[in-house]
């Protein structure tokens, strides 16, 4: 393992990979700082930038954006009570209160250091867990793959968003649009109506940029006011002895919660940070102090949302099932670069996996350096007027999407999905299941067809193989759990 890791480090320290790792974490920090533009939108928008790169460099950069956004998100939460991205919501509760008491520096400091510790631990976890899991998953055949993808989708649907019905509609819609184009087995066209661009199916770049970036920009355009920039001086960034004493265990617990929560598809960084905050409050001797500006309330959720990024790489790289919107975008990017995430990735491209893992160690160090001394610069990013930010994001998205196939039809598709995404946000439909389903549908359909060929058209193949049966049962449970909860509450009332 260590030989592989050293080889990974050697790959990462090439000037190109270091540059793009730095570029990724810097852009990620900016995305995290700017309210409205989340990591999914940022990653989707920058996928076209990776077309000329080799897959390793591309994923090093995209992963950098992902965990960089987690670092950046805390800055505006602490300074302005404004979460830069959804996973930083919990940091607002105590972080902002600390700022109000004149301890913004300590909150930012513990957030950056806690993020660094948790991020590094999660990479360690990824390094230790991924190889044995891949070894186990290599035995999977088409029925197990079909069951695994079904499970991934149902978990994302049941855990993301406010309503199971809306999540299911989003997932079904994603599967439906995932069938557009030529059927890979028969070559028969489905819903492409003679439009050549649609023969290969809807490009995930156009759809994800539309659903995440354009919809967010439209929401930004809707509001006439913009939050004021933070102008006070930030000092005393290094936590004192007492801060350390109170934060170290919340950081370690947050790291464990974030990593394991996100190693399972569905629970994203937001859920992880909420879980970490709730755990600290529950085990604290003074739970009433949470929300009044205590350092544990900053350390735990920040550690959790950073550890989540390492955890999220497990289902993505080892099983080929992305567990969140950002992971889905990264999987799409990998597929564009001709890499199929899954257990075979370890066998065929171990250099790729270890280089990405090593880049996460280096990226975390870069982020610590970027986020501690330069925090004032990031806080000033909020001075960028929306009047410039909005056309800039729209133009980058449009030109970027155009470069997918050098075709304006892609830009039209992006605009259409931007409008759809805007209304989905308004009515509370989650967008992540749509992109996840769009990417997984062709693979899932293929696995289903292969499974049925193996069993001479009998669906019993899914129920006679223990792994696929177990996975399908968990998928069913995840879908039925809200109904069971509802019935249980109803029975309890009567």
Partner 1 sequence: MRKGLIAASILLMGLSLYGIIESSRLERTMQMGVGIAFFPLSMSIGIGILAAVLLVGILKGKVEIKDEPICEKGGAWRVVTVVAILLAYIILIEEIGYMPSTFLFFAATVLFLGKGRILKTLLTSAACTFFLYAIFRVWLKSPLPTGFLGM
Interacting residue with partner 1 among 10, 100, 223, 348 (CB under 8 A): 223
Q: Which two tokens stand for residue 238?
A: 């290094």
What x-and-dash track marks residues 321-360 binding partner 1 by CB under 8 A? Answer: ----------------------------------------
Helices (H), 375-465: 375-380, 386-405, 408-426, 432-454, 461-464
Q: What is the CA radius of gyration of the chain?
A: 22
Whole-number Cα distances in Å, 242 to 226, 246, 442? 37, 6, 54
Among 81, 412, 480, 482, contact with partner 1 (rule: CB under 8 A): 412
Sites for partner 1 among residues 2-31 (CB under 8 A): none
Name the nearest CA neighbour of 41 among 69, 21, 19, 60.
69
Report in angstroms how near the CB of residue 423 gets to partner 1 at its nearest: 7
* 445 near partner 1 (CB under 8 A): yes
Angle at 96 between CA 95 and CA 102, to 5 degrees: 95
Q: Supply the minimum distance, in Å, between the C-beta of residue 191 and partner 1.
A: 6
Q: Of 6, 13, 19, 165, which one interacts with partner 1 (CB under 8 A)?
A: 165
Among 11, 96, 133, 166, binds partner 1 (CB under 8 A): 166
In terms of Cβ atoms closer than 10 Å to its own Cβ (0-12, 13-18, 19+), residue 105 is buried
Which residues, 114 to 133, sit near partner 1 by CB under 8 A? none
Query: Which of the 8 DSSP states describes residue 50?
Result: G
With respect to partner 1, which residue has the nearer C-beta, 38 or 167? 167
Shortest reach from residue 131's CB to partner 1, in Å: 34
With H, G, I as helix, E, B as strand and everything else as coil, classify residue 189. Answer: strand
Q: For partner 1, which stretch binds (CB under 8 A), given 153-161, 239-247, 393-401, 474-482? A: 393-401
Does position 190 interact with partner 1 (CB under 8 A)? The reply is yes
Question: Which residue stretch of 122-130, 326-334, 368-376, 408-416 sits at the interface with partner 1 (rule: CB under 8 A)?
Answer: 408-416
> 3-state DSSP: the chain helix, strand, coil percent, rounded to 5?
75, 0, 20
The yes or no reply on residue 218 touching partner 1 (CB under 8 A) is yes
Taking CB under 8 A as the rule, does residue 485 contact partner 1?
no
448 touches partner 1 by CB under 8 A: yes
Give the whole-angstrom CA distance, residue 253 versus residue 381.
Answer: 32
| Stretch binding partner 1 (CB under 8 A), from 66-74, 95-103, 107-115, 170-178 | 170-178
Tokens read off for 318: 């080892």
| Measured distance CA(35)–CA(232) in Å, rounded | 19
Q: How many residues does the chain have?
A: 494
- Does position 458 interact with partner 1 (CB under 8 A)? The reply is no
Under the binding rule (CB under 8 A), the answer on residue 51 touching partner 1 is yes
Is there binding between residue 441 and partner 1 (CB under 8 A)?
yes
Would you list the DSSP string of 107-167? HHHHHHHHHHHHHHHHHHHHHHHHHHHHHHHTT--HHHHHHHHHHHHHHHHHHSSS-HHHH
Helices 215-222 and 386-405: crossing angle in degrees, nearest 10, is 160
Contact track, partner 1, 278-317, x by CB under 8 A:
----------------------------------------
Summarize as ranges the residues that interact with partner 1 (CB under 8 A).
48-49, 51-52, 162-163, 165-166, 168-169, 172-173, 175-176, 178-179, 183, 185-186, 188, 190-191, 217-218, 221-224, 385-388, 390-392, 394-396, 398-400, 402-403, 406, 408, 411-412, 415, 418-419, 422-423, 426-427, 441, 445, 448-450, 452-453, 457
């Amino acid at each position: 393992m260590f030989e592989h890791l050293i080889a990974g480090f050697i790959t990462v320290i090439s000037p190109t990979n270091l540059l793009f790792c730095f570029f990724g974490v810097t852009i990620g920090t900016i995305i995290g700082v700017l309210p409205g533009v989340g990591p999914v939108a940022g990653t989707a928008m920058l996928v076209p930038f990776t077309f000329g790169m080799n897959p390793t460099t591309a994923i090093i950069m995209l992963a950098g954006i992902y965990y960089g956004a987690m670092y950046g998100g805390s800055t505006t939460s602490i300074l302005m009570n404004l979460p830069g991205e959804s996973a930083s919501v919990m940091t607002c509760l105590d972080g902002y209160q600390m700022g109000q008491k004149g301890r913004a520096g300590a909150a930012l400091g513990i957030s950056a250091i806690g993020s660094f510790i948790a991020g590094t631990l999660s990479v360690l976890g990824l390094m230790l867990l991924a190889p044995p899991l891949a070894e186990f998953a290599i035995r999977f055949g088409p029925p197990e793959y079909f069951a695994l993808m079904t499970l991934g989708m149902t978990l994302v649907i049941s855990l993301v968003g406010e309503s199971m019905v809306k999540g299911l509609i989003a997932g079904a819609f994603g599967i439906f649009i995932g069938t557009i184009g030529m059927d890979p087995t028969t070559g028969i066209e489905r819903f492409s109506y003679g439009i050549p661009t649609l023969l290969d199916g809807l490009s995930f770049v156009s759809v994800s940029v539309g659903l995440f970036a354009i919809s967010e920009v439209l929401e930004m355009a809707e509001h006439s006011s913009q939050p004021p920039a933070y102008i006070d001086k930030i000092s005393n960034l290094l936590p004192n002895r007492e801060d350390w004493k109170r934060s170290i265990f919340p950081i370690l617990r947050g790291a464990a919660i974030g990593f394991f929560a996100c190693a399972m598809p569905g629970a994203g960084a937001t859920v992880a940070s909420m879980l970490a905050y709730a755990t600290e409050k529950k085990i604290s001797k003074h739970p009433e102090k949470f929300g009044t500006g205590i350092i544990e309330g900053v350390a735990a959720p920040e550690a959790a949302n950073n550890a989540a990024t390492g955890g999220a790489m497990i289902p993505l790289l080892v099983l080929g099932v992305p567990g969140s919107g950002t992971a889905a975008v990264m999987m799409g990017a990998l597929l564009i670069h001709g890499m199929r995430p899954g257990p075979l990735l370890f066998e065929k491209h171990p250099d790729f996996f270890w280089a990405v893992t090593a880049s996460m160690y280096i990226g975390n160090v870069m982020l610590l350096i970027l986020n501690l001394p330069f925090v004032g610069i990031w806080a000033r990013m909020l001075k960028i007027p929306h009047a410039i930010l909005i056309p800039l994001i729209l133009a980058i998205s449009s030109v970027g999407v155009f470069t997918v196939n050098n075709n304006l039809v892609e830009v039209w598709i992006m605009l259409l999905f931007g409008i759809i995404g805007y209304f989905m946000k308004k009515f509370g439909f989650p967008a992540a299941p749509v992109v996840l389903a769009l990417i997984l549908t062709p693979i899932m359909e293929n696995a289903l067809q292969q499974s049925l060929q193996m069993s001479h058209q009998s669906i019993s193949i899914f129920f006679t193989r223990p792994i696929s049966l177990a996975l399908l049962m968990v998928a069913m449970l995840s879908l039925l759990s809200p109904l069971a909860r509802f019935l249980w509450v109803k029975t309890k009332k009567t």
